[in-house]
Amino acid sequence: MIVSSTYTEGPPQVDGRRYVSELHTDDRGQTYTHEWLGDQDAAMVLADRAAVLSAQISAQRAAEAVVLGTALPLTKYQFRQLFTFSERVAVDSMEANLEQHPGLTVEQRASIRTGLKDFNAAQDVVRPFLPYDLQMLDLFVSLGILTPERKAQIVSAGNG
């Protein structure tokens, strides 16, 4: 990343030290300056600083790449707004009547209870959606709350 490094030295001080001004340029044209007073070999300090700067720039760019590839989570409200009003009503009705719902097995009821508790405990909905979120959407499809097309639209809108 550092492609050019130069330095200038000031006159020696009474104690033999001198002021050194460094100028480093990275591969994007950004410059970095450092000034110091010392009696070290300026060329060696310059080379070492260029190596450290290159490592720091590389780490920063790697972190930026991770951030740029990350979708911010949705609030739970934003997630619910991916559903139409009638879909939200159907989900809320299913939740309210969960224990008496005739189309659910005992295992499905337990899974839905846990999923709803997890949703209520969560602060946000992670994107891309986690496998468990996708399984809940699949369950909504199997119960007729969502169509497969609406599930695909919700996933696309939520992960987009």
Which stretches of the chain drop beneath a pLDDT of 70? Answer: 160
CA dihedral 53, 54, 55, 60 (to 10 degrees): 90
pLDDT at 71: 80
Tell whether pTM > 0.75.
Answer: no
Report the distance separating Cα 21 and Cα 10, nearest Å.
8
Q: Answer whether the bond into residue 128 is a cis peptide, omega within 30°.
A: yes
Domain spans, the chain? 2-68, 74-159
The domain defined by 2-68 carries CATH number 3.30.160: yes
CA dihedral 34, 40, 44, 50 (to 10 degrees): -20
Q: Which amino acid is at 124?
A: D
Report the distance separating Cα 47 and Cα 44, nearest Å.
5
Q: Which positions ≥6 away from 129 have C-beta within 8 Å?
A: 137, 155, 158, 159
pLDDT at 102: 86
